[in-house]
Amino acid sequence: MCQLAAYSGDRMKSQLLLKAIELQEAYFGGHASGLGVVSDGCIRMEKDVGPVERVRKTTRIGELDGSVGIAHSRWGYGFFDPRYNTKKMAHPFMDCNGSLCLMHNGNIANFKQHWDHLKERHPFSSYERGIDAITDSEVVVHMIEEQMDKGLKVGEALRKIAPKLTGSFLLACITVEEPDTVWIANWYQPCVIGVGDSEAMFCSSPIGFEEVRGEFNSIFEPPKNALIKMTFRGVEISLLDRRRQVPDLRLDRSVLEAEILEVLKRRSPIDFRDLWYELYPLGWARAYGVKPEEFEKLREMGVSIVNPYIGTLDEMASKGRIKRWIAKRPEAGVEYVPRYTYSL
C-alpha cells in the first residue's frame, strides 16, 4: 500500500503535492518519495529513497512545477528489504519517449508475465541486477505506451489494458499530449477527489486534504472500477472494466473497533501496518460479516479496505478511546521513517 496525490490547477505542484503525501506517509509509505510534472512540453521528475523530509534535501523535488503533477510515497517491497527500496525502484516512472509519467498503488500480481513479454522491446529503469527484479508498476507504463503507439489516447489505453492486470491497482498518469489532465484508473484502491474553482486534486487518503480542505467545493470518494479524467475544469468519471464486478462490502465499524481494542490489549504499542496484519484475516472477516476465506479471496481480487480502517482509527483516536502518535524509525534502509503508532 502506497500513498498518492495528484493535482491540476494553478497552485505550485511541488508544495501542494509533497505536503499531501507527507500528511499520508505515516500510514503506509515513507520508504521512497517522488514527484512528476508536465512543464513546457516535457516531463520533469525527481525521486529518491526516504520520506518527503529526506527527499527534499537530496533532490530538487521542491522546485518542480507545471500544469499538472503526480506525487507518490512508497512502502518498500519485500518485507522492508532495502535491496528493493532504491531510487531506481521509486515512483513515478516514464515511458521510453519521456512523454508519459505514471504512478501506481497496489500490487500487480501478474507483472512478471507482462515483463517477460515487454523486456525485449523496452528498457526498464527500475531494474536492479543484483536481485533480478523490477518494480511491478513499471510494466504498465510500457503497456500504455504500446497502446498509444497504435493511436489510442491515454484514457482509451488505460481502459484497454485494465482487463489484462490482476491483483490490485490504482494507476495515475500524466502526459505531454494532455498537459492539463490527470488520468486515474482505479479498480478498488483508496481514492478521494477534491473539486474546487478551476482546480481538482486526488489523494489516496482524506488526510492528504487536511491543510486545504476548506478551499475545495466538494471532496468525495468516486465509485470503484472507475476511469477518472481530472482537469482544472472538473472531473469526469466512467466505467473502467465492464468485466469486473464491484463487491458489495458493508463494514460494521463497531465490530472493527472491538477487534482493534482486542489487539491493543495484547500488543501495545503497535504501528499502523502491524495492527492491520494482526486483524488479518479473522478480525477483518468479522468486521465485514464474511467468512475468512471469503475475505482472503476479496484481497486476492485486489479489494482494499484501507480508508475504512484509517477512518475507524482516526475516530477512535479523536474520541480518546486509543492513543495515536507518529514514531520515526529505520525501515528499508532509511532512517527516520514516520509511522503512526497506537496504544490504549
- The reply to whether 247 falls in a domain is no
- For residues 93 and 195, membership in a common domain is answered with yes
Distances from the Cα of 222 to the Cαs of 113, 188, 196, in angstroms?
30, 10, 16
Which pLDDT belongs to residue 79? 54
Q: How far does Cα 109 stand from its chain's mean position? A: 16
Nearest to 61, CA basis, from 39, 40, 34: 34
Against a cut of 0.95, is the pTM above it?
yes
Which pLDDT belongs to residue 77? 62
- For residues 47 and 100, membership in a common domain is answered with yes
Nearest to 247, CA basis, from 301, 190, 312: 301
- For residues 265 and 232, membership in a common domain is answered with no
- For residues 68 and 210, membership in a common domain is answered with yes
Nearest to 125, CA basis, from 197, 177, 47: 47
CATH code of the domain covering residue 165: 3.60.20.10
Cα–Cα dist 304/298, whole Å:
9
Number of structural domains found in the chain: 2
- 49-89: pLDDT as tens digits: 999 999 999 999 999 999 999 999 998 765 578 999 999 99
- Of 209, 239, 269, the residue at which a domain comes to its end is 239
- For residues 194 and 292, membership in a common domain is answered with no
- For residues 196 and 257, membership in a common domain is answered with no
- 17-49: pLDDT as tens digits: 999 999 999 998 899 999 999 999 999 999 999
- Where in the sequence is the domain holding 42, given as residue range(s)? 3-239
CATH code of the domain covering residue 257: 1.10.10
Nearest to 205, CA basis, from 46, 21, 19, 72: 21
Coil/strand/helix, residue 226:
strand
Write the CB contacts of 238 (distance below 8 Å, at least 6 apart in sequence).
226, 227
- For residues 230 and 144, membership in a common domain is answered with yes
- 172-224: pLDDT as tens digits: 999 999 999 999 999 999 999 999 999 999 999 999 999 999 999 999 999 99
Percent of the chain surpassing pLDDT 90: 97
- For residues 335 and 224, membership in a common domain is answered with no
